[in-house]
Amino acid sequence: MTVRRKERHRLQYIGWLRAAVLGANDGIVSTSSLVLGVAASGATHGSILIAGIAGLVAGAMSMAVSGTKLIPFVSGASLVFLACLGGLAARIGSANVATGIMRITFWSALAMGVTAAIGVLIGTAA
């Protein structure tokens, strides 16, 4: 005799798991690219630390409102803020400011695009 069990899935919790995994990935990529860009410019340890903390704060603010309808605005504001931080970090490190801005903006936009593409791919983003 076969015993049948009713399987219970918890699909209603998949949204927070997706947000946690992709948000952590985005946070790691954008913060580490910011820190590496500042470090490559030959900046002091204090400047690298300040840039890293500022990047973490920007990412945290972005994630704090990610559940709302403000996602396009927050994504754009995050890119602008990260570009400003990249330019500031390059200036502090005596590197080319335009290169710092382009580098940070490119890698941040790439990380956001990959995150959005994965969301569309698995059917959890519009």
The whole-angstrom separation of Cα 6 and Cα 31 is 44
> Tens-of-pLDDT digits for all 126 residues of the chain?
677 777 776 666 666 666 666 667 777 777 888 888 888 888 888 888 888 888 877 777 666 655 555 566 667 777 888 888 888 888 888 888 888 888 888 888 888 777 777 777 776 655
Alpha helical stretches, state H, the chain: 14-40, 45-64, 71-92, 97-121
* Confidence at residue 32, expressed as pLDDT on a 0 to 100 scale: 82
The whole-angstrom separation of Cα 5 and Cα 25 is 37
From the number of C-beta atoms within 10 Å of its C-beta (0-12, 13-18, 19+), residue 55 rates as buried
**How would you write 27-44 as a 3-class SS string?**
HHHHHHHHHHHHHHCCCC
* Confidence at residue 125, expressed as pLDDT on a 0 to 100 scale: 58
Q: CA of 8: how far to CAs of 5, 11, 12, 15, 124, in Å?
A: 9, 9, 11, 17, 20
* Confidence at residue 1, expressed as pLDDT on a 0 to 100 scale: 62
